[in-house]
Chains A and B, each alone.
Chain A
Amino acid sequence: MTAPVETARPGFARAAPAVLRQAVTVLGSLVTIVVLWEGYKFIGDRTDDTWPLTNIGLPVSSDDLTMPHASDIWSAFWAPVQRGGSDSLAVFLVKASWFTLREAALGFAMGTCIGLVLAAIMLRSHFAERGVLPWVNISQTVPLIALAPIVVTWGRTNGWGDTLSVALISTYLTFFPVAVNGLKGLQSPQAADIELMRSYAAGWRDTLFKVRLPAARPYLFPAFKLAGTLSVVGAIVGEISAGVRGGLGRAILDFAGRYSTGPAKVYAAVIGAGLLGLFVFGLISAAERFFVRGPQGSGT
C-alpha cells in the first residue's frame, strides 16, 4: 500500500511546521532571483550586452547604474540615508512603511466596509445588482493617477486633510474586489439552505448574518488579501499625488529623483514597498486560517 512511501518521504517536509516550510520556499526563491540577477549582469558584462554568440542586444543594459549589484542593494539598506544622518536606510524604510501602513489600513477598512455594504445592497435587489455592478466594474478602469489629484484637491478645499485623501485613494482600489467577490459569496448558499431559514420564518437579516455571510468567507478572504496589497499600492500612489511626506511614496519619489547618485537606494525602496505588501498579505492570510476552518481548511 502507500504507507511505506509515506514514511519514506524526507522527514523535514512532513515534520516541519507550515511556517518554516514557507520560509524555506521564500528563501529559495530569493536566492534564485539573486543568482539570475547576477548571472544576467555577468553575461551582459562579458558580451557587451548582447545575447551570447550573437549580436542581438539584451533587453536591459547590465551596467551597475541600471542594475546595481545585489550586494550593493543589500549594503544600501544598512548605510545612512543621508550623509551624516543617524538612521540607516532600513530604519528609515521601516518608519516610512509604518506611516504608509496606517493610511493603507484606513483605506482597507473603509474599502472593505463599502465593498460589503455594496455587496449586500446588490444581493438585496436584482435591480441594484444590474444598476450598480457595471459601475463597480467601470470604476476600476479609471486610472488611479488621474483620480488621485482630484481627491487630493477635494480634500484640500474641504479641509479634511491629506491623510484622509490618501486613505480614500486607497479605498478606491480596495472596495472593488470585496464588493465583487462578496456578492458572489453571499449568493453562494444553496437554495435548500435559504429554504431552511425560510421555514424558520427567519428574516433577511438573520439569513444574511447566520447563513450568507459565514458562507461567503471562502470568497471574502481571497478578496481581502487582494484588497490588502492594493491598499498599499493605493496609499503609495496617493502619497505621491498629494506630496505627503513621511511615507514610502515620498521616499520612492525622492530616491528616484536622485537615481544617478544612488540607484541601489531606489531598488531598496521598491523592495521595501514589496515587503510591506507581503506583510499585509501575510497578516490577512493568518486571519483567514483563523476564521475559515472547514473540510478543506486547516481544521482537519
Chain B
Amino acid sequence: MTAVQISGAGMTFNPGSDNAVRALDDIDLTIGHGEFVSLIGPSGCGKSTLLRLVGDLITPTTGSIEVFGKSAEQARLDRDYGMAFQQAGLFDWRKVAANIELPLELIGWSRSDRSARSKEMLELVKLDDFGDHYPWQLSGGMQQRVAIARSLAFSPRLLLMDEPFGALDEMTREHMQSELLRIHAKTATTVVFVTHSISEAAYLSNRVVVLSPRPGQIHSIIDVDLGERSDAIRETPAFFAKTTEVREALRAVEASA
C-alpha cells in the first residue's frame, strides 16, 4: 500500500519576483507503507523543502502530494505526522517530560496516560532521570533526543525527520539509529529521513533518494536491502558496497552541478 504519493511536485519560493527560487522541480516519488526512505544530496538541493511539502508546512506550486490516500493537509489535520528537525525546538518553559507530552496534551490524552508515555519515551532515548529537568539544563545532544522522543510520543503513522541526529556524537548517533530501526520494525511507521551522512542513509534505509540541486530533482534512487540490521552489519562488505554506491551517486551529482 502507498503511504506517500508525490506526483510532479515543484516548489518555487517568491514566484514572479526578482528573488524567486526554484527549490524543487517535477518530483515523482512513491513511498510504500512501512518503508524507510532517506533523502540525501548537496546542501541547498531542496531536501528540507521536500520534507516540508510532504508535511504540509508549505504548499507545492505545482503537482500534488497525497499521504495515506488523502491530501497532505488532511493527513496533517488527522495528526498522521511526527516531525523532528535538526534544531531540537523544545520549549524552555516546559520540563523535559512536559515537552514530550505536548502533542499528547493537544490530542487530549489523560494526565496519567501522558506521564506513562513520556516515561516510556524517556527510557527509549536513555534519559530516564531527566524528565524533571528543563531543556536548557541538558546538552545539545540530549535535547535532540528529547525532540525525537516527542516526535515518537503519539505513534504517528508517518515520521518526517530532518537531520535529527546531526547534533549527536558518533556513539549516541549509532545508538539512536538502532533505536529508530527498532521502533520502525516494531510499529508500522513510515519514515522519510533527511541526512547528510552516507553511512547513516545506507544503514537506515530501504531506499536512498539522491537529489541534485538547482532546481532540486531526483537524480537517482538506490535500493538497499541489508535485511535485519545490527551493529555488525556496519562492517560487512554488503554495507560497504551500498555506501560506495551512494557516495558515487553523490559524486556524480556534485560533478554535474
A→B interface (CB under 8 Å)? 190, 192-193, 195-196, 198-202, 206, 210-211, 214-215, 217, 293-295, 299
Q: How many A-B residue pairs have CB under 8 A?
A: 47
Complex: how many Å from CA A295 to CA B102? 20
B→A interface (CB under 8 Å)? 55, 57, 76-79, 81-83, 85, 87, 89, 91-93, 102-103, 105-107, 134, 136
CB-CB under 8 A from A217, the residues of chain B are: 93
> Is A199 a contact of B83 with CB atoms below 8 Å?
yes
CB-CB under 8 A from A299, the residues of chain B are: 134
Q: Which residue of A lies closest to B147 (CB)?
A: A196
> Is A214 a contact of B57 with CB atoms below 8 Å?
no
B76 is contacted by which of A199, A210, A211 (Cβ under 8 Å)?
A: A199
> Is A294 a contact of B106 with CB atoms below 8 Å?
no
> Is B102 a contact of A294 with CB atoms below 8 Å?
no
> Is A193 a contact of B106 with CB atoms below 8 Å?
no
Complex: how many Å from CA A259 to CA B107? 67
The 7 closest A-B pairs by CB, nearest first: A295-B136, A214-B93, A199-B83, A201-B77, A294-B92, A200-B103, A200-B106
> Is B93 a contact of A294 with CB atoms below 8 Å?
yes
CB-CB under 8 A from B87, the residues of chain A are: 192
12 contacts between A and B (CB under 8 A): A192-B85, A192-B87, A196-B83, A198-B76, A199-B82, A199-B83, A201-B77, A201-B78, A201-B106, A206-B106, A210-B102, A294-B93
CB-CB under 8 A from B105, the residues of chain A are: 210
B92 is contacted by which of A195, A202, A295 (Cβ under 8 Å)?
A: A295
> Is B89 a contact of A192 with CB atoms below 8 Å?
yes
A198-B57 in contact given A192-B87, A214-B93 (Cβ < 8 Å): yes
B81 is contacted by which of A199, A215, A293 (Cβ under 8 Å)?
A: A199
Complex: how many Å from CA A195 to CA B134? 22
A199-B102 in contact given A217-B93, A294-B93 (Cβ < 8 Å): no
Q: Which residue of A lies closest to B88 (CB)?
A: A192
Complex: how many Å from CA A201 to CA B102? 12
